[in-house]
Homo-oligomer: A and B are copies of this chain.
Amino acid sequence: MELAGLKYLVVGAGLFGAVMAERIAADMGERVLVIDRRDHTGGNCHSTIDTETGIERHVYGTHIFHTAHARVWKYINRFATFNSYRHRVLAMVDGRAYHMPVNLLTVNDFYGTSLRPWELHAFLAAEAGRDATKTPANLEEQAIALIGRPLYEAFIRDYTRKQWGVDPRRLPAAIVTRLPVRATCKTDYFDDPWQGLPMDGYAATFSRMLAHPLIDVALGVDHADIRERIPEGCTVIYTGPLDRYFDHRYGPLGWRSLEFHEEIHLVPDFQGAAVVNHPAPDVPWTRIHEFRHLHEEREHPAAATLIAREYPRELCTAHPEPYYPMRLREDRERLALYQRDAHAETRTIFGGRLGTYAYLDMDTTILQALEAYDRLCERLGTDWTPPHHRPERPVARG
């Protein structure tokens, strides 16, 4: 791995890093080195094919692409063709499947009512009124004030507790100013006009993004181990954890981790949907993923299916992968300090979910990377041809 003379180094081969590297190589025409501490590219979007069933697994949890940004959709379609999968989420409560997020069907199924669309909000307000506290002091009281105790207890209380490892009564009310209750029968999880899964998988998509001859990829390389050798004038795009860049000088930023337990079941279909939530307190997992449903267009085994149960975990040596930023008060205070220091690092661009300590969907990540690249180009000054004045390199489709 040659660092001498390097002008651009990308730390992290996830989505943010891949977009930046692709733009620097294909648009700017500069050499760029991408490193990742893991042994694969793609970051948390990574997917592999299960050797036993031939089913594509999402290693870090189900990832569905969805966006309302035309710029992002146009960009990513240069590297992937998307199938027509449309995401829907069910929640199992007492052996019954309910539509999530809560909509008119959920409420009518749950209460056995025949409410019409325009009656729903008044009904929920009445339910909420039965348990009203004047000023909700915590998440539980706030949620009850919004949708009433029965729905809260069935769908939110224990799911929240399992997901965050905290009793909802100990979480601030401000987290839920609004609970998405849809007074209609629409069962789509996402409202975005463009949705789907890359037809030939996430791994192939990242391969195409990083295929440019000016891009070098070095896997199994940690930024911490090479940072002393990065040349003076090199611009670093850093998508690793923000606190780690500064050696945790203000203390760690809190993350929640996950663990996935895979199982192969010898049936054609385990649960009838890609993702089913399990909010019940006596079930230790929060969700079950069944990957075959993501790719209806593929030939899958007729009598075997791959599932993964998702268990939220405390971030620790046994579960070291950061998944969801906790963003508790302490975290937000530390974040402000880290952000100030990051601002002073003029040679480093911080980006992505880890580098900004934020939950970012894939499309937001791509948009932020494209915008970071725009700013980089602006910074390079007036002798620079604006990128949109030069032709884009066509991309081969596998």
The interface of chain A, by Cβ under 8 A from chain B, is 83-84, 86, 88, 90, 95-97, 103-105, 108-109, 114, 116-118, 183-188, 191-195, 267-273, 293, 296-297
Contact = CB atoms under 8 A, between A and B. Distances in A.
A113 to B, nearest CB: 8
A180 to B, nearest CB: 15
A87 to B, nearest CB: 11
B97 A268 contact: no
Given A272-B184, A272-B186, A114 B88 contact: no
A311 to B, nearest CB: 22
B183 A272 contact: yes
Nearest to A267: B118
B90 A268 contact: no
B268 A88 contact: no
B84 A183 contact: no
Contacts of A84: 192-195
A103 B90 CA distance: 14
A114 B96 contact: yes
Given A97-B105, A114-B95, A185 B83 contact: no
User: Most chain-B CB neighbours within 10 Å: which of A96, A97, A188, A272?
Assistant: A272
A85 B109 CA distance: 24
A239 B270 CA distance: 48
18 contacts: A84-B193, A86-B188, A88-B187, A96-B114, A97-B105, A97-B185, A104-B272, A116-B267, A117-B270, A117-B271, A118-B269, A183-B268, A183-B272, A184-B272, A185-B271, A185-B272, A186-B272, A187-B187
A108 B96 CA distance: 8
Which 3 residue pairs are nearest across A and B when measured between Cβ atoms? A95-B114, A185-B272, A117-B269
A289 B188 CA distance: 20
A110 to B, nearest CB: 12
